[in-house]
Structure 1
């Protein structure tokens, strides 16, 4: 079937246009050639792996891009409805894939499952604007060096001195030591330091502008520590405000309409 037949410019053009978009078997049938003949021609003109020419990504490639295990992605498929499909690239090469368009539509509805901090920009095709914002938020949320770095003696000594200063607050101490307010609170307790920072008045009502920014940043994925610094509030106060507004910290969304 078509063995030794010369490839016309139209044949080659069809092969190049459809390589990775449809199965090799389909291409062979369309051109009246054998599967082996199509594979050989693709190698000669440098088309490479057909899965890399698909307008989307295989699940294996997605795992590497997002630094996730197969079990994690499997949960996304089974529990959260990630719209993957099985695609036949060759006679015995059936692979789970997802188109870029389908991935981004699904991802927008499941932002809480994804962390773009380490994901290379553009690796999953053109990104929507919300993904760029979330990457920035995830990168800030990932900068948690305070969780893994032990307090030094010099830092302990500084903490003992700074906590006694007039006007010293938890947010100011957190910013100085690049740690969370909760971390500062724990360290004061661990060192048996009786002095406590001055507390911000969290009962001061938020302005309409502050509430709008709070809602926007929370939805975009920013942590309450970052939001607090932006608004000049305490992190614990921001968290309390979001809880009272019905914010779901896992899904990064409000349980009822806010500011619509």
Structure 2
């Protein structure tokens, strides 16, 4: 192994195992600051392409059955989201099976969206499904379209990647919380692979006891519902206490200093923020941008 070759960490392997099949190699590489070729080699090294859990590109009998049963109540995008297929793949399969919709699908109305957003998290999807006369997969797909990520009718969990996106933090931060700060999680098996599931209610309970680890002012309202009442107060508090240099533009000198302190001196993001007058989250976001910039340059 060459001196410049970066070793894979346990956190990166966990992320790779969880997102394999859900994200392209290119996107995984961007998140891990690695090349697409490196991701591919690591997948082979971890034996993720074993016969048991290899990705299936062909349509299965179960998928055809689901398509046939739901073609009149779900559009191609909703069916694709449920089956892990693209809308164009669904459309092609409909032609191959010579299926046809009995009538034009009912469009979502503003009133339906309002009801869904208001009661999701406080009422079950089964209840909302009956009220709106929509299937549960259709509700899950609509929630994702409305920006409510991680809708899970059957497990009640969201993935590490979804949680990181909701909190606007790096996915490695979530893995660090799991390993070092006892963020509760549960290993869940879906189809042919395992992934880490995090219950939203359990997360909020943990967050209330670990407020110093999060910047609540950066978390959009109701991005993880149901959102406890105390979050609103904490969000205002974090916003009031934000660093005075938070909106200050980064200079080339600061970028170089940041990169050196993080990768050469192995300082934490918290330490770097205190030294250069930036928030820990500001340091984290800047590091992410610098990694992507170096990756594409």
TM-score by length of 2: 0.34
Task: Kindly name which structure, 1 or 2, has the bigger radius of gyration based on alpha carbons.
Answer: 1
